[in-house]
Amino acid sequence: MAAEAEAEDGPEWDQFFSDCAPPPNAAASVRALGEFAAQHAEQCRRLVLVTSGGTKVPLESRTVRYLDNFSSGWRGAVSAEHFLQLGYAVVFLHRQRSLFPFSRRYSGLNLLDALKAVLDVGTGCWRVEADQAALPGIVPTLQRYAAVREAGLLLPLEFSTLSDYLYLLRAAAQALHHNGPKAMFYLAAAVSDFFIPASEMPEHKIQSGANPLQLSMQMVPKMLTPLVKDWAPQAFVTSFKLETDSSQLLARARKALATYRHQVVVANTLETRRVYVLIVTEDSQVDIKLSENEVQQHHEIEEKIVKHLSECHTNFIEKSKNPT
């Protein structure tokens, strides 16, 4: 990481990053990000960083236990496919073993039930056959996935813990700096607000005893502040806000926009997130819904969210060419 950029992060961030180890394969991920961003900047292609899934927060440094959250990675994986469909290059920063674009359709399946080993009597060799009925839509899915890979449009990066996520987010933001307003951030991951600094974590497994467990956790510094101000100041930034009280959606979204001064908040509630979101910008608020009929026909709300945001992104790029 460039020393200059580290200095800009501010004391809270300096403290956070100096306290935690870089993720496994950090150098390779940073290199891959730089190459991916440069290649698509050269091709004048729009690029989106989609974050997806929940972060793990370790409770011990030799970690046996950790805090986690509900996020399955559905929103991120489905949205990544729709961005690819619209011609974006996609960095998919996702929680290890959460849902992945294309393969997410088969996530509930035991693969061994869909495959069969067959002996070819002519050659005496075994080959593997797939039962297409057990893998609905597998041929077009494989074709789309192969086309995306061949065109080099998808860069998957994995995280597991909160600190891995934040390290890679910062690295991605700094790489995407070169893509200017053509870069979009689509921050759908469910990131912990609390953590235990490494210096305060017990080394060994917390022992169970007569007393209830008491934890003291610190607030994670708000990463939208350096992201918008320092890491990627020209990019189009969409954050997500999850609430459990729908009456708070609009007020909380507006508060986030006023605090971080980024472009969009997509607000959703836990129970209705597959069928309803509220997209809030400085001067608009738009309801995006799936009707009963659309739900029955297996439409995905992410298609509408991504379409709407890509139109906002177009306006943003145009405005950045002709600032008034």
> Residue 66 — φ and ψ, nearest 5°?
-155, 160
Stretch that binds ligand PAZ, among 102-110, 172-180, 185-193, 282-290 (CB under 6 A): 185-193
Name residues contacting ligand PAZ, limited to 71-100 (CB under 6 A): 71-75
Minimum CB–partner distance for residue 39 and ligand PAZ (Å): 28
Burial environment of residue 95 by CB neighbours within 10 A (0 to 12, 13 to 18, 19 or more): buried
Phi-psi region of 85 (alpha: psi -120 to 50; beta: other; left: phi over 0): alpha
**Segment interacting with ligand PAZ, rule: CB under 6 A, options 170-178, 187-195, 220-228, 288-296:** 187-195
- Closest CB to ligand PAZ among residues 30, 101: 101
> Smallest gap, in angstroms, from Cβ of residue 98 to ligand PAZ?
7
**Amino acid (one-letter) located at 81:** E
Closest by CA position to 301, among listed 46, 82, 53:
82
Quote the CA–CA distance of 264 and 267 in Å, as a whole number. Answer: 10
Whichever of 273 and 308 has its CB closer to ligand PAZ, that residue is 273
SS3 content of the chain, % helix, strand, coil (to 5): 45, 20, 35
- Sign of torsion over alpha carbons 65, 69, 75, 78: positive
The DSSP output letter for 125 is -
| Residue closest to 91 by CA, chosen among 198, 227, 188 | 188
The least CB distance from residue 94 to ligand PAZ, in Å, is 10
CB nearer ligand PAZ, residue 161 or residue 268: 268
The piece of 12-20, 188-196, 225-233, 309-317 that touches ligand PAZ (CB under 6 A) is: 188-196
Tokens of 123: 């050659």
As measured in angstroms, the least distance from the Cβ of 59 to ligand PAZ is 20
The size of the interface with ligand PAZ (CB under 6 A), counted in residues, is 13
User: Among 149, 151, 193, 178, which residue's Cα sits nearest to residue 33?
Assistant: 178
User: Does residue 316 touch ligand PAZ according to CB under 6 A?
Assistant: no
Shortest reach from residue 295's CB to ligand PAZ, in Å = 15
Residue 230-269 contact track with ligand PAZ, rule CB under 6 A, x = bound:
----------xxx-------------------------x-
Q: Which is nearer to ligand PAZ, 30 or 223 (CB)?
A: 223
Cα–Cα separations (whole angstroms), residue 51 to 14, 48, 90, 296, 321: 22, 10, 10, 28, 27
Residue 320 CB, shortest distance to ligand PAZ, in Å, is 26
Measured CA to CA in angstroms, residue 286 lies from 50, 281, 283 at distances of 21, 9, 10
Single out the residue of 282, 284, 230 nearest to residue 261, CA to CA. Answer: 282
Closer to ligand PAZ by CB, 78 or 148: give it: 78
| Interface map 279-308 toward ligand PAZ (x if CB under 6 A) | ------------------------------
Among 105, 178, 229, 273, binds ligand PAZ (CB under 6 A): 273
Within residues 47-76, the interface with ligand PAZ by CB under 6 A covers 71-75
Question: Given the complex with ligand PAZ, which of 41 and 78 has the nearer CB atom?
Answer: 78
Binding site for ligand PAZ (CB under 6 A): 71-75, 188, 190-191, 240-242, 268, 273
